[in-house]
């Protein structure tokens, strides 16, 4: 596919409600939308870097820089065959997976449109709809959290994840469990703890949680092994797994029992499929994480989550949980059985709402 032009759209979108994690609070979500023109077709991708380097060292600022100054020159005017070809071209760029993944997504959209296939078909997905849950940020109080959980359960979400941080962990999770004894519940610490906190967190083990996500530092897979050894609840790694190699380290070290797959963090959808396949071989279930995506990234998450080893509900909620107006014309809705239907249209299966895209764009850079 001859890459004729690339446009970077730096977006800022208001969230329907603030999202607070152990690393900060967002009321608007920023990202970079990537538009690639090739042979009469347009491919769209989403780079999930946000404004602050809280979840990842990458930000909208670093990804604009890496995209503009390094990735774009490597592919503009070139004939890029597919995802492996793209990964080969950018292999000299260390890290910056969120930036690379945004471009790879646009290439998959183009590939699907060219072959008249959905991403779900290209990946070999095995289900038409995927089980989903909702990720709830830290609220002003445990009571406020219980109210928020009740609201989402009322909307039909059968699995809830709550964010925890020091001072807002055992008590918050216990309050939710007390009110919802049967709810499929899990917690996410976003690296807020160290091994010194393990004994204090031990009461989490009595709350019948599906998993404890990323309690410790991102670059410390070995301490997660020690943490997992002290807990019956499965540990799930998110931030630590930045490549298929890291997934292998975690499996070999018994650092976790479950892996959260995010194509952005791994450097591309192709890498997400690789981690999926590796985990399948090792009987380790995976689930699809989320980064508060627009309809573009959400469509790609649904296609990925249709693969067979996605055994737990994903953080892929309905569009209205995030945005009043989205940049895709399609909005994703929650089915009564706590699933979302996988798009079947060609490529990502979504179309762009140009008015909304323009309204949310802070800055646009075109290369041709």
Between residues 108 and 310, which has the closer beta carbon with respect to Mg ion? 310
Q: Which CB atom, from 119 or from 259, has the smaller least distance to Mg ion? A: 259
Q: Would you call 81 a catalytic residue per the annotation? A: no
Q: b or e along 182-218 (b: 16 or more beta carbons within 10 Å of the residue's beta carbon)? A: ebbbbbbbbbbbeeebbeebeebeebebbbbbbbbbb
Residue 135 contacts ligand OSB per CB under 6 A: yes
Cα 86 to chain centroid distance, Å, stands at 21
Question: What torsion, rounded to 10 degrees, do the Cα atoms 18, 24, 28, 31 define?
Answer: -140
Tokens of 118: 């959905």
Q: Does 238 bind Mg ion (CB under 5 A)?
A: yes
Q: Show Cβ contacts of residue 84 under 8 Å, excluding neighbours closer than 6 positions.
A: 270
The nearest distance, CB 216 to ligand OSB, in angstroms, is 14
Which does residue 323 bind out of Mg ion, ligand OSB, none, counting CB within 5 to 8 angstroms by kind? none
Give SS3 for 13.
strand
Task: Report CA 195 to chain centroid distance, whole Å.
Answer: 26
Nearest CA among 267, 232, 237 for reference residue 250: 237
Taking alpha carbons only, the member of 338, 331, 273 closest to residue 305 is 273
Per DSSP, the residues of 269-336 read HHHHHHHHHHHHHTT--EEE------HHHHHHHHHHTTSTTB-S-BS---GGGT-SS-SBS------T
Distances (CA, A) of 336 to 109, 129, 158, 322: 29, 12, 10, 19
Return the one option of ligand OSB, Mg ion, none that residue 287 interacts with (CB less than 5 to 8 A, by type).
none
| Residues between 283 and 322 with contacts to ligand OSB, criterion CB under 6 A | 289-292, 315, 317
Taking the least distance from each CB to ligand OSB, the nearer of 40 and 154 is: 154
Query: Minimal distance in Å, beta carbon 92 to ligand OSB?
Result: 28
Q: Nearest approach, Cβ of 95 to ligand OSB (angstroms)?
A: 18
Q: Is 338 in the site for ligand OSB (CB under 6 A)?
A: no
Q: Determine if 293 is a binding residue for Mg ion (CB under 5 A).
A: no
Asked if 190 is part of the footprint of ligand OSB (rule: CB under 6 A), the reply reads yes
Binding partner of 310, given Mg ion, ligand OSB, none, CB within 5-8 angstroms per partner class? none
User: Quick one: what does residue 360 bind among ligand OSB, Mg ion, none, with the CB cut-off 5 to 8 Å set by partner type?
Assistant: none
Distance CA 368, CA 351 (A): 22
d(CA 8, CA 1): 19
- Is residue 55 a contact residue for ligand OSB (CB under 6 A)? yes
349 binds, among ligand OSB, Mg ion, none (CB under 5 to 8 A by kind): none
Nearer to Mg ion, 314 or 343 (CB): 314
Say which of 100, 113, 163, 257 is annotated catalytic: 163
DSSP 200-244: HHGGGGGS--S-EE--S-TT-HHHHHHHHHH-SSPEEESTT--SH
Q: Which is nearer to Mg ion, 36 or 236 (CB)?
A: 236
Which range binds Mg ion by CB under 5 A, 65-73, 82-90, 206-214, 302-310?
206-214
188 touches Mg ion by CB under 5 A: yes
163 is catalytic: yes
- Point out the catalytic residue in the list 113, 161, 257, 262: 262
Give the nearer residue to Mg ion in terms of CB position, either 67 or 247. 247
Binding site for Mg ion (CB under 5 A): 188, 213, 238
Give the interface with ligand OSB as residue ranges (CB under 6 A).
55, 135, 188, 190, 238, 289-292, 315, 317
Active-site residues: which are they?
163, 262
């Amino acid at each position: 596919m001859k890459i004729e032009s690339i446009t970077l759209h730096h977006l800022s979108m208001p969230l329907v409600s603030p999202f607070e994690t152990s690393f900060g609070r967002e009321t608007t979500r920023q990202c970079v939308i990537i538009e690639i023109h090739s042979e009469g077709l347009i491919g769209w991708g989403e780079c999930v870097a946000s404004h602050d380097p809280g979840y990842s060292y990458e930000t909208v600022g670093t990804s604009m820089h890496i995209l503009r100054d390094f990735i774009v020159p490597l592919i503009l005017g070139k004939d890029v065959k597919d995802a492996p070809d793209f990964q080969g071209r950018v292999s000299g760029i260390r890290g910056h997976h969120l930036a690379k993944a945004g471009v790879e997504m646009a290439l998959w959209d183009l590939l699907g449109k060219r072959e008249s296939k959905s991403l779900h078909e290209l990946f070999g997905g095995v289900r038409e709809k995927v089980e989903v849950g909702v990720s709830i940020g830290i609220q002003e109080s445990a009571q406020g959290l219980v109210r928020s959980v009740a609201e989402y359960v009322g909307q039909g979400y059968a699995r809830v994840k709550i964010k925890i941080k020091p001072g807002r962990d055992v008590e918050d999770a216990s309050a939710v469990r007390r009110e919802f004894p049967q709810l499929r519940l899990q917690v996410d610490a976003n690296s807020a703890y160290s091994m010194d906190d393990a004994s204090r967190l031990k009461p989490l083990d009595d709350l019948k949680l599906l998993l404890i996500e990323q309690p410790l530092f991102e670059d410390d897979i070995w301490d997660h092994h020690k943490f997992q050894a002290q807990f019956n609840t499965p540990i799930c790694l998110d931030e630590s797994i930045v490549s298929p190699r890291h997934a292998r380290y975690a499996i070999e070290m018994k650092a976790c029992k479950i892996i959260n797959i995010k194509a952005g963090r791994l450097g591309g959808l192709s890498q997400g499929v690789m981690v999926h396949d590796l985990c399948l071989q090792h009987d380790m279930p995976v689930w699809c994480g989320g980064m508060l995506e627009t309809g573009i990234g959400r469509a790609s998450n649904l296609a990925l989550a249709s693969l067979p080893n996605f055994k737990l509900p994903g953080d892929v909620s309905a569009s209205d949980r995030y945005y009043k107006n989205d940049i895709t014309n399609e909005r994703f809705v929650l089915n009564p059985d706590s699933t979302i239907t996988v798009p079947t249209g060609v490529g990502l299966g979504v179309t762009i709402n140009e008015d909304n895209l323009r309204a949310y764009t802070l800055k646009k850079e075109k290369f041709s």
